[in-house]
A and B are shown apart, each in its own frame.
Chain A
Amino acid sequence: MDIVSLIAHVQGLTAIAVGLVFGLGALGTAIGFGILGGKFLEGCARQPELSNMLAGRMFLMAGLLDAVAMIGIGFSLYFVFDNPFVSAVKAAANIVSH
Chain B
Amino acid sequence: MSQTAAITPNEYIHHHLTYWTVGHGFWSLHLDTLLVSLMLGFVFFFSFWMAARKATSGVPGKWQNLVETLVGFVDQQVKETFHGRNKLIAPLALTIFVWVWLMNFMDMLPVDLLPRLAQWLGMPFGANPEHVYLKVVPTNDMNMTFALSLTVFVLMMFFSVRVKGPLGYAKELFTHPFAVHNLFAKLLLALPNLLLNLVETLAKPLSLSLRLFGNMFAGELLFVLIALLPWWVQWPLSFAWTVFHLLIITIQAFLFMMLTIVYLSMAHESHHSH
Contacts and interface: CB of A to CB of B under 8 A. Distances in A.
Contact of B218 (A63, A64, A74): A74
B14 A82 contact: yes
A77 B215 contact: no
Given A59-B254, A63-B254, A67-B207, A72 B214 contact: yes
A41 interface: no
Nearest to A64: B255
Interface in A39-98: 59-60, 62-64, 66-68, 70-75, 77-78, 81-82
Nearest to A70: B214
A81 B13 contact: yes
How big is the A interface, by class? Answer: 10 to 19
Contacts of A74: 210, 213-215, 217-218
Nearest to B80: A53
B251 interface: yes
A67 B14 contact: no
Contacts of A81: 10, 13-14, 17, 221
Given A71-B210, A71-B214, A74-B210, A63 B14 contact: no
B214 A82 contact: no
Nearest to B206: A71
B13 A71 contact: no
A60 B211 contact: no
A45 B177 CA distance: 35
B255 A73 contact: no
A75 B217 CA distance: 9
B214 A73 contact: yes
A67 B254 contact: no
A59 B250 CA distance: 10
Contacts of A67: 207, 210-211, 214
A64 B248 CA distance: 12
Contact of B217 (A59, A68, A77): A77
The CB with the most chain A CB atoms within 10 A, among B218, B221, B254, is that of B218
A71 B17 CA distance: 17
A68 B213 CA distance: 11
15 contacts: A60-B258, A63-B252, A63-B254, A64-B255, A66-B215, A67-B211, A67-B214, A70-B211, A71-B211, A72-B214, A73-B214, A74-B215, A74-B217, A78-B217, A81-B13
Given A63-B251, A75-B214, 19 more contacts: A59-B254, A60-B255, A60-B258, A62-B251, A66-B211, A66-B251, A67-B211, A70-B214, A71-B207, A71-B213, A73-B218, A74-B210, A74-B215, A74-B218, A77-B218, A77-B221, A78-B217, A81-B13, A82-B14
